[in-house]
Amino acid sequence: MNYSNELKIVKNIITKSGEMLEKEFGKYQRNKDKYKAHDEIVTDLDKKSENIILNELKKYFPSYGILSEESGLDKKDSPYFWIVDPLDGTSNFTIHNPLFTVSVSLVYQNEIVLGVTYVPILNELYWAIKNQGAYCNNKKIRVSTIDKLKKSFLTYCHGQNKTSRQQAYKLYQYFHDQARDCRHFGSTTFELAMVASGHTESLIVPKPKLWDIASGIILVQEAGGKTTDWQGKDWTLQTKDLLASNQKIYSTLQKKLKSWA
């Protein structure tokens, strides 16, 4: 399947959601913050964005299942299910940092076959379909060809649990001195889009949530990059830790991560 119909509909849906978030971005006040488990910030706009996306997906694809960050799993008797992150980078949004995204991906028989990521403030729409390449605003993108760690910009992210944070701090401490720079942008889907488009060389994440990375995984894969666990095994829906990288510095990064896994 070429998934062109799904792509067209999803592009429209997340653009609509992103436009809503963009309108609210300049007006948001931090006294509206709420908290989930592990002191993770959630806003009314996370839910508003999710409602826009889920209502449309259910209308056009009533038989597909849906896994969403805010609502959990709505399982259907279908080989297809959507993965939805209605606002990735909520903390960024609340402090007027423009690096946040809306993302939707499609899984067929336990494999990601489509991913769309929208960065509203930058007006960048990233998308990829399995075996059809990766694109930003309909222009084909590729991972970088930088082959020296000292010339590489690395990114990292982490979850809210203590173990994930401690691993991320260890990553930063080591790779900041080994690479050109090592940064944490606060939105995993945005960071994966940066790798796919060649702006950065890698993203390393200990124990990410599936909705935080799904749309970006296929972007990196279709842009010519590698996505594995820290042991070097190909990424699957069950993978615990993520290394997404261009081809040139992957082995150098993976060798170090394997000793920490």
Task: Concatenate the DSSP letters of all residues of 63-78 into one string.
Answer: TSEEEETTTEEE--SS
Nearest to 100 by CA among 132, 122, 78: 122
CB atoms within 10 A of CB 106: 26
The burial of 90, by beta-carbon neighbours within 10 Å (0-12 exposed, 13-18 middle, 19 or more buried), is given as buried
pLDDT band at 39 (very low <50, low <70, confident <90, very high): low
What's the pLDDT band for 37 if we cut at 50, 70, 90? low
Helix (H) / strand (E) containing 190 = helix 188-196
CA atoms within 13 A on the CB side of 186: 15
Give the per-residue pLDDT at 75: 81
Contacts of 173 (CB under 8 A, 6+ apart): none
Strand, coil or helix: what is 254? helix
% the chain with pLDDT above 90: 78
Predicted local distance difference test score (pLDDT) of residue 238: 94
In this predicted model, what pLDDT tens digit does every residue of 221-257 receive, in sequence order? 999 999 999 999 999 999 999 999 999 999 999 999 9
31 pLDDT tier (thresholds 50, 70, 90): low
Dihedral Cα 166, 170, 176, 177, nearest 10 deg: 150
Lookup: tokens for 84 = 């939805």
Structure tokens at 83: 């993965």
Q: Are 211 and 188 in contact (CB under 8 A)?
A: no
Any idea which of 4-8, 28-32, 119-123, 181-185 has the lowest mean pLDDT?
28-32
User: What domains can be seen in the chain, in order of their start residue?
Assistant: 4-140 (3.30.540.10), 149-260 (3.40.190.80)
What distances in angstroms separate CA 13 from CA 18, 49, 55, one per listed residue?
A: 9, 10, 10
